[in-house]
């Protein structure tokens, strides 16, 4: 992992690279709160089935979007539907 304070993709909202785990908070503190967007092989190694790959990746992307920017109502509904479908 890299420290986003030295990351070229870092902005005042956090890192614009989805697989980066650091987000800058108000007051200058940094927290590791984003999910890593994994490769198919990494998701399979975590126990997800091939038919679940698209959904687990989308849930990670939506989670990160929520932490960086917030969700639209449709994205929130989609995220919780994926959570329920995948049992995560």
Residues 35-86 pLDDT 10s: 888 999 999 999 999 999 999 999 999 998 888 788 999 999 999 999 999 9
Range of the domain at 19: 1-34
Q: Are residues 20 and 45 in the same domain?
A: no
pLDDT of residue 41: 95
Beta bridge partners of 56: none
Q: Are residues 20 and 41 in the same domain?
A: no
Q: Are residues 41 and 84 in the same domain?
A: yes
Distance of CA 7 to the CA centre of its chain: 17
Q: Are residues 43 and 55 in the same domain?
A: yes
Dihedral angle, C-alpha 21, 22, 25, 27, nearest 10 °? 160
Q: What is the pTM of this model?
A: 0.66
Q: Are residues 30 and 63 in the same domain?
A: no
pLDDT of residue 36: 84
pLDDT of residue 49: 96
Q: Are residues 62 and 78 in the same domain?
A: yes
The count of domains in the chain is: 2
Residues 12-21 pLDDT 10s: 555 555 445 5
pLDDT of residue 18: 47
Q: What single DSSP character describes residue 17?
A: S
Q: Are residues 61 and 87 in the same domain?
A: yes
């Amino acid at each position: 992992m890299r420290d986003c304070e030295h990351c070229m993709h870092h902005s005042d909202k956090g890192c614009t690279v989805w697989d980066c785990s650091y987000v800058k908070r108000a007051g200058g503190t940094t927290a590791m709160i984003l999910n890593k967007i994994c490769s198919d092989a990494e998701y399979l190694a975590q126990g997800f089935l091939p038919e679940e790959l698209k959904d687990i990746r989308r849930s990670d992307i939506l989670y990160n979007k929520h932490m960086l920017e917030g969700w639209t109502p449709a994205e929130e509904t989609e995220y919780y539907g994926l959570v329920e479908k995948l049992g995560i």
